[in-house]
Structure 1
Amino acid sequence: MFNLFHLSLKLNGFPIEKAQADFEKIVAVSEVDYPRHLEQKKKDIVEFHFKNNAFYKEFIGGKTFDKWNDLPVLTKQDLQKPLKERLSNGFSEKTVFVNKTSGSSGTPFVFAKDKDAHAMTWASIIYRFGWYDIDFNTSYQARFYGIPLDFIGYRKERLKDFLSKRYRFPIFDLSDKVLDGILKNFKTKKFDYINGYTSSIVLFGKYLQARNIILTDVCPTLKVCMVTSEMLFEEDKMLLEKHLGVPVVNEYGASELDLIAFQNTKGEWQVNSETLFVEILDENNRPVSNGVEGKIVITSLYNKAHPFIRYEIGDVGILDEKSTAKHPILKKLIGRTSDVAILPSGKKSPGLTFYYVTKSIIEDDGNVKEFIIRQTKLDTFEIDYVSSVALTSEQTIAIEKAIASYLEPGLHFTYNRKEVLKRTARGKLKQFDSLL
């Protein structure tokens, strides 16, 4: 089989075969030797940036640190300066992979990876997808993603899709008419797997449910579905597995880093310990015990072009008590630190709590397709939703009652029924948004 995907990486200067060989060596390091291997990699990357990166040297105050935990934590705000000021010696914007974060944390910035590190990212993705018998050179992907709408950006993405053996469904309009067209594609194309934003795939799952369709009945080649970028709730996962007819795998990643955690075949969210070092820290940037929630802070062990050392990604999570250096397990991803609701009593609550409580009430009958919640004042929230018929007063009363018991009473809600919900430029649906 002609390896078009590998070829396109090589033509762009990403040494994928070397990266895969290096990655296999890391995977082969034993459980016993792994802590020592990891300590060495952490030390190597800090020393490299201390010697070769003026931005990082200045950031840590120009001094070396004996203890890892004394190294300062890097935030997205620290990185909001021109890229050329942040690149290591020997790298220029022309010789690295340059991209932009999605800005879903509210703080977008441009970042770089050297070509070896970017190839290593692909080696890590190829390895994990291989757990589900997916081969990037031969497997055909149904892709639920955003796409640039300007002519050049659009054509570029379509070419990338062709080279990467994938067919993209743009997700800015997912009305029933558009979903009819998507279903037709599944009837005529031999897709091996689905990959894309959680909210869009869930919407497609609900469309199938309403028509009592199991997708593998019309597309029997389908093996698995990978969802990314937005929260996957347990009941949505069950709905998808039933109506897609395949296992649904939850991935958690960041464009500036790599896949951070990927559900393994045992159903655990296995953290990528090969190219990353993931820590959970408290408010004072001290490590917490496994099983305790805190800020997710990540070190990219191989990116020499740009430092991501103890980088606070903006998410909150918990590592499982049974985690080891070689096999850390993400027990729970709680959501973004920026998506917090501050209530009149002074209580802080993850915005997804609102979303979750509301979801449990208004999606019972399948009327509401999707919704978002916005906090406009301390005690005031707006709910935008798409549905076949408007919410009844009984439903809105039930929502407010449930939120009063879960969070606190005395909060005010307005409900706006919409034809379609506004997504970000990349097609993500921001489930909770605080305007405070």
Structure 2
Amino acid sequence: MILLFDISLQLNGFPIKKAKTELDKIVRFSEKEFASFLESKKTEIVDFHLKNNPFYKGLAGNATAQNWENLPVLNKQNLQKPLEERLSKGYSKKNVYLNKTSGSSGTPFVFAKDKYSHALTWASNIMRFGWFGINFNHSYQARFYGIPMDFIGYQKERFKDFLTHRYRFPVFDLSNEVLEKFLQKFKTKKFDYLNGYTSSIVLFAKFLEQKNIILNEICPTIKACFVTSEMLFEMDKKLLEKQFGIPIISEYGASELDLIAFENPQGEWQVNAETLFVEILDENNNPVPNGTEGKIVITSLFNKANPFIRYEIGDIGILDEKSTPQKPILKKLIGRTNDVAILPSGKKSPGLTFYYVTKSIIEDDGNVKEFIIKQTKLDTFEIEYIAEKELISAQIEKIKDAIDLYLEPNLNFIFSKKIKIDRNKSGKLKQFSSLL
């Protein structure tokens, strides 16, 4: 069999064979071997950037890997400088993998990975999808994603889809007519798995529920569904399991880093400890004990082109008490740090709390297909929703009561029914945003 996926990586200068061999070795380490691997990689990557990256040296000053806690915690604003100023010696735009972050956090920037580090990212993806019997060289993917709309970008992405054995369902228009076309494709193509944005895949499942269709009955080849980039709530997971008839797996990643956590076959969110070092820190950048929430801060152990050392990704999470350095488990991902609602009482609440509370009421009868919440003033929230029929006052009252209970009383809500909710350029749906 032609290993088209591996070959296309090799041809683009990403040494996938070497990366797979190294990853395989890391995975087989004993606990003791892993501990010394982790310490040596942390020291090696910091020393490398202190010697070869003036940008990082300027931020780190006299701090060294030996005093890990004294190394600066980088954020996205630190990295919003021209890439040329951030590249290590020996790297240029010509000999690295270049991309830009999605900007879902509101602060996009261009980043680089050296080619070996990017090959390791792919080796890590291949291994994790392999846990569920998916092989990128021959498994056929139904991809629910955005796509560039300019001609060259569009053709390039379609060609990439061909090489990587996937069929793309663009998520910018998810009206019933479009979802009906999606459904026909599942009847005629032998897909092995779905992969894509949570909100779009959930919407497709709701469409199937309306039509009383179970996906793996009309597409018997389908084995698993992987959702990414947006929160998957428990009730949505149940809906997906029911309407698709296959395992639903959550992944959590960042384009500038790697897959950060991936649900393993035991249902745990296993953190990628092979290519990343993940810390949970408090507001003063001190480590918190496992089981306590804090900022997620990540070090890329292999990327020599661009320093991602103690990089604050902008998310809040909790590591499970049973985590070990070799197998950290992400107990909970609470949401993005910049999506926090500040209330009139001074209370701060993750915006997703609003979304979650409202969701549990608003979707009871299946009328509301999608909705987003925007905070427009300290005490005012706008809820835009797509539905067959307008919300009735009893539902609105129920939402207000729940929010009184979970958050605080005397908040104002403006409900507006829409035909379409705008997604960002990549096709993601920002479920809560504060305009303050």
Tell me which residue corresponds to 1:102.
102
- Secondary structure in structure 2 of the residue aligned to 1:381: strand
- Secondary structure in structure 2 of the residue aligned to 1:297: strand
List alignment gaps of at least 5 residues for structure 1.
Answer: none
Tell me which residue corresponds to 1:365.
365
Tell me which residue corresponds to 1:147.
147
Tell me which residue corresponds to 1:123.
123
Contact 2:26/2:274, CA 8 A, preserved across alignment: yes
Contact 2:46/2:64, CA 8 A, preserved across alignment: no
- Give how far 1:229 is off: 0.1
2:141 equivalent to 1:172? no
Tell me which residue corresponds to 2:185.
185
- Give how far 1:28 is off: 1.0
- Give how far 1:32 is off: 3.0
* Aligned residue identity for 1:275: T
Runs of 4+ in structure 1 over 4 Å off:
none
Contact 2:63/2:70, CA 8 A, preserved across alignment: no
Tell me which residue corresponds to 1:233.
233
Q: Deviations over 1:377-413 (max 9, x none)?
A: 0000000000111101110111011101110001000
Normalization by structure 2: what TM-score? 0.99
- Secondary structure in structure 2 of the residue aligned to 1:33: helix
Q: Distance in 2 between matches of 1:32 and 1:421?
A: 51
Q: For 1:7-18, list aligned pairs within 5 A.
A: 7-18=7-18
Q: Distance in 1 between matches of 2:428 and 2:5?
A: 26
Contact 2:42/2:65, CA 8 A, preserved across alignment: no
Q: Distance in 2 between matches of 1:37 and 1:165?
A: 35
Tell me which residue corresponds to 1:205.
205
Tell me which residue corresponds to 1:48.
48
- Secondary structure in structure 2 of the residue aligned to 1:39: helix
Tell me which residue corresponds to 2:354.
354
Tell me which residue corresponds to 2:69.
69
Identity %: 70
- Give how far 1:63 is off: 4.5
Contact 2:97/2:118, CA 8 A, preserved across alignment: yes
* Aligned residue identity for 2:108: P
Q: Distance in 2 between matches of 1:31 and 1:336?
A: 32
2:379 equivalent to 1:383? no
Q: For 1:338-349, list aligned pairs within 5 A.
A: 338-349=338-349
Q: For 1:32-47, list aligned pairs within 5 A.
A: 32-47=32-47
Normalization by structure 1: what TM-score? 0.99
Tell me which residue corresponds to 2:400.
400
Q: Deviations over 1:181-227 (max 9, x none)?
A: 00000000000000000000000000011111100010000000000
- Secondary structure in structure 2 of the residue aligned to 1:353: helix
Q: Distance in 2 between matches of 1:16 and 1:372?
A: 40
Q: Distance in 2 between matches of 1:133 and 1:334?
A: 29
Tell me which residue corresponds to 1:312.
312
Q: Distance in 1 between matches of 2:325 and 2:401?
A: 44
- Give how far 1:65 is off: 5.1
- Give how far 1:66 is off: 2.9
Contact 2:63/2:71, CA 8 A, preserved across alignment: no
Tell me which residue corresponds to 1:299.
299
* Aligned residue identity for 1:195: N
Tell me which residue corresponds to 2:156.
156
- Give how far 1:94 is off: 0.8
Q: Distance in 2 between matches of 1:221 and 1:63?
A: 54
Q: Distance in 2 between matches of 1:217 and 1:342?
A: 46
Tell me which residue corresponds to 2:219.
219
Contact 2:6/2:16, CA 8 A, preserved across alignment: yes
Tell me which residue corresponds to 2:266.
266
Pair 123,65 (structure 1): closer, same or farther in 2 beyond 3 Å = closer
Q: Distance in 2 between matches of 1:6 and 1:420?
A: 39
- Secondary structure in structure 2 of the residue aligned to 1:133: coil
* Aligned residue identity for 1:101: T
Q: Distance in 2 between matches of 1:318 and 1:337?
A: 13
* Aligned residue identity for 1:87: L
2:84 equivalent to 1:78? no
Q: Deviations over 1:12-54 (max 9, x none)?
A: 1111111101110111111232222111110110001011111
For this pair of structures, how many residues does the alignment match? 436
* Aligned residue identity for 2:103: G
Tell me which residue corresponds to 1:6.
6
Contact 2:47/2:65, CA 8 A, preserved across alignment: no
Q: Deviations over 1:71-101 (max 9, x none)?
A: 1101100000000100000000111001000
Q: Distance in 2 between matches of 1:419 and 1:207?
A: 16
- Secondary structure in structure 1 of the residue aligned to 2:395: helix
Pair 185,65 (structure 1): closer, same or farther in 2 beyond 3 Å = closer
Tell me which residue corresponds to 1:276.
276
Q: Distance in 1 between matches of 2:191 and 2:373?
A: 34
Tell me which residue corresponds to 2:91.
91
The RMSD of aligned alpha carbons is 0.7
